[in-house]
Structure 1
């Protein structure tokens, strides 16, 4: 018998994830051609693999590992690890179309983190303390910029870990982190973020909030961290979802310079404290008026007053990898969208089992604003059930703006098929449901009183349900033409189902 290839090693961190991808042609490209992290790197990946809502031309290509970063000897930058649903499936050992179900199952079966010693924490192989005379995070780590208008260099794919100072509950979230000085980083919180609630509690007491900023992680940890309330309410530790996805608890270790935990198998950990009653202008060093490209595809405005993290230390692996993303790209769709899908599917399954078949958080909405929900009607009553599922989705995920309902014969992942249903199974005066003046997302540029005077405040919006399902009583009139199911490989050997 021919020799069988060795089974892939389990994914436990970023490096084992890259080893896994290296076994799949076309999923990872490594280059030692010099790259400037300021604008050039994002400009390259914008064309190769960013996708999502990025300005065209763009595409869905491999993840890229840049091993020769100008001005940063020994540092490496990875971009696009999760910038395709196929690649996420490889890394989470799932068919891409079943990732939603896999994530929902992980939420139902959380697995607690485990604590390890410093000797067993690769993230602390090298330690840099902020009180060292030559410490400067700006020269130590290459934080990229996406565009020439960015407020400054950003850590774009950095998982912040904080703890409720009253209850001791831990939360992890990705936030916008702009490097402001040699030991200062601003942090942007969208309304309702749990770590911001922790910060406010600490600030009310005049205390700092210790945090760790974890960069370069097992992709299961990143994706698991992107669930939001009510699926993961205040007090729910999203690290337990990453543990469930891997079947073993995420390893944590005590930080070196602050009273906090960090992710032991991270590439880089920035340790610091969010200072009480200190605010900074996001673009104070550049005056561009812009922050960075956000997931809807536009440059976000620079915030005039953000909390400030005082960096106390940085720990890294040897030859660390800075993991980043192109702001509006497909990687954001994977990070935000797949947990969104799972949250909606779980809620609908709890409410009416078996009715919702699939959920897709479409790339056009950055993984947040647009969901395609596939339903299976069994009787005329469920014409109303379909719209109930859409309303439930809008309630479960507050940032969701538009829902398109489709039948089981429509592929929710195929935009042409969805548009076909929207064209052939929809009448605007009958099938469009509009819900005005509902809380949405502050980063949507249309959700402002300037755009619509009827909107009372930024981040309030009109939401829409686009019911492109067939009325049950008319289902026979809308049956799609059926063709023979013929295997084409004898005529076209390169065919892939």
Structure 2
């Protein structure tokens, strides 16, 4: 008997077998700021304002204004939970995804009767069509530009249909059939396709897929150079599950949709058309972004005209809190994979593991665990840091540690800075480089000497590795190894 395909519902069924990883509530909640405000205390983590913590994924069954729709948040807001959902040890998820990129399993197209995403169809031609009433998109704060789709996987193709891709963007519900979409310049393949359509003055068909197996969501966040133009990241999810992601033809657009998504919005990115992101609120804010600050509302986001909303029976709307641990999993683990891929080719065997911690939102910081075989390897650790910067341009800080340091324990990492580090010789500062425009310190007013335009940054390497010829002077206190220590807790 064939196994049921992976989708969000199958993942949630499996997750409920693990105590403390999932919680559902019937208490009424307002999607406007309250839902995210509640989860901030329960399990958001990441760079969210304290107090916050790591906690269970949360299903809100009673969302005001949206009877029949549940809202899920925090599904990926724990690295250990991602490991459980992927059936893999969480410490080595980066290498696991690296292997998946190397051996993709391409998606397949299924017939309409095998696509639960189309169980219910609302067309823009319907008299009562209004995405603001159909899609239970929360706002993260009271100051957001509007309700946001925060974890919608956009599927689009080149004009000749020779290349297809999936990416995630912030999208705000602006009107009954209109979304504003922020496509960050450079690196995003959907943006390249949209530019091609815009040059031809033609609307670009897309589908926006929400409520997915996290293998799809996390796989979709890979970027160049790891996945170059023409690489469809749905193949990564296929490799993780060892089964192809199922697609289905759109009902109103000439584009594919993910057949087992909870919600799908179909529509067109309109050519040569822009709108003010916060046109309905004029707060000047978009939504909280991964560094922990409110993103500025963009004065000219691209426009999507929605032609249909489809969903499953009793659908699940999935959302993320911008600065939460969920973003760390979505962006950080693929970044670890990208870094490992490059360093393994350039200096094989010298980088044992890589971790992008919550302190950097998954993008701005990486910790690299270094192996030195002999004195000739001295300096190879700094070469590894430079490779990390080239693998991922949005990286700002690299911390280098030895093999005996637990890179997933920030106390252990910072300990190296206090006992294996001298600031006058173990810091490398690289000014005037490109980075991520959402870092608020990356503006000319903050550092006029090296930041000429928004999105430039000085980059930092902290070398906390012991010189090889002094290794015997830095051996940690050795405690007795006790295999059955847990019996003393019973």
TM-score range, shorter chain: over 0.9
- The structure 2 residue matched to 1:271, chosen from 266, 280, 297, is 266
1:284 matched residue in structure 2: 279
Task: For residue 381 of structure 1, give the secondary structure of its aligned residue in structure 2.
Answer: helix
Deviations 1:168-193 (CA, angstroms, capped at 9, x unpaired): 21111110100000000000011212
Question: What TM-score, normalized by structure 1, do the two folds share?
Answer: 0.96
Count of equivalent residues: 485
Q: Of 68, 72, 77, which residue of structure 2 is paired with 1:74?
A: 68
Contact 1:11/1:20 (8 A) holds in 2: no
Pick from 455, 462, 467: which aligns with 1:466? 462
1:490 Cα offset (Å):
3.6
What does residue range 64-463 of structure 1 map to in structure 2 within 5 Å?
64-166=58-160, 168-192=162-186, 193-454=188-449, 455-463=451-459
User: Aligned equivalents of 2:304 and 2:349: distance in 1?
Assistant: 46
**Superposed displacement of residue 10, structure 1:** 6.4
Q: Distance in 1 between matches of 2:241 and 2:445?
A: 46
1:485 has 2:481 as partner: yes
Q: Distance in 1 between matches of 2:303 and 2:69?
A: 26
CA contact under 8 A between 1:190 and 1:442: conserved in structure 2? no
CA distance in 2, matches of 1:48, 1:79: 11
Match of 1:6 in 2: none
* 1: CA distance, partners of 2:10 / 2:29: 24
Q: Secondary structure at the match of 1:213?
A: strand
Deviations 1:250-280 (A, max 9, x none): 1000000011000001001000100011100
* CA shift for structure 1 position 488: 2.5
Question: 1: CA distance between counterparts of 2:150 and 2:161?
Answer: 29
Whether the 8 Å CA contact 1:209–1:275 is kept in 2: the answer is: yes
Tell me the distance in 1 between the aligned counterparts of 2:231 and 2:488.
54
- Distance in 2 (alpha carbons) for counterparts of 1:84 and 1:295: 15
Q: Which residue of 2 aligns with 1:5?
A: none
CA distance in 1, matches of 2:405, 2:162: 46
Report the Cα distance in structure 1 between the residues aligned to 2:120 and 2:426, rounded to whole angstroms: 60
SS at match of 2:100: helix
In the alignment, the residues of structure 2 paired with residue 305 and residue 372 of structure 1 have an alpha-carbon distance, to the nearest angstrom, of: 36
For 2:338 and 2:54, the matched residues in 1 are separated by 25
Structure 2: how far apart are the matches of 1:439 and 1:392? 15
Deviations 1:58-82 (A, max 9, x none): 0000000011110111011000000
CA distance in 2, matches of 1:30, 1:279: 39
With structure 2 as the length reference, what TM-score do the two structures score? 0.98
The structure-2 alpha-carbon separation of the partners of 1:256 and 1:10, relative to structure 1 and needing over 3 Å to count, comes to: closer
Residue number in structure 1 paired with 2:36: 42
Q: Is the 8 A contact 1:433 1:464 kept in 2?
A: yes
The runs of 5 or more residues in structure 1 that have no matched partner are 1-8
State how far apart, in whole Å, the 2-side matches of 1:452 and 1:284 are.
Answer: 31
**Deviation at 1:167?**
5.7
How large is the RMSD of aligned CA atoms in angstroms? 1.0
* DSSP-derived class of the 1:312 partner: strand
Cα distance in 1 for residues equivalent to 2:398 and 2:349: 19
1:381 deviates by: 2.1
Which residue among 46, 49, 54 is the counterpart of 1:52? 46
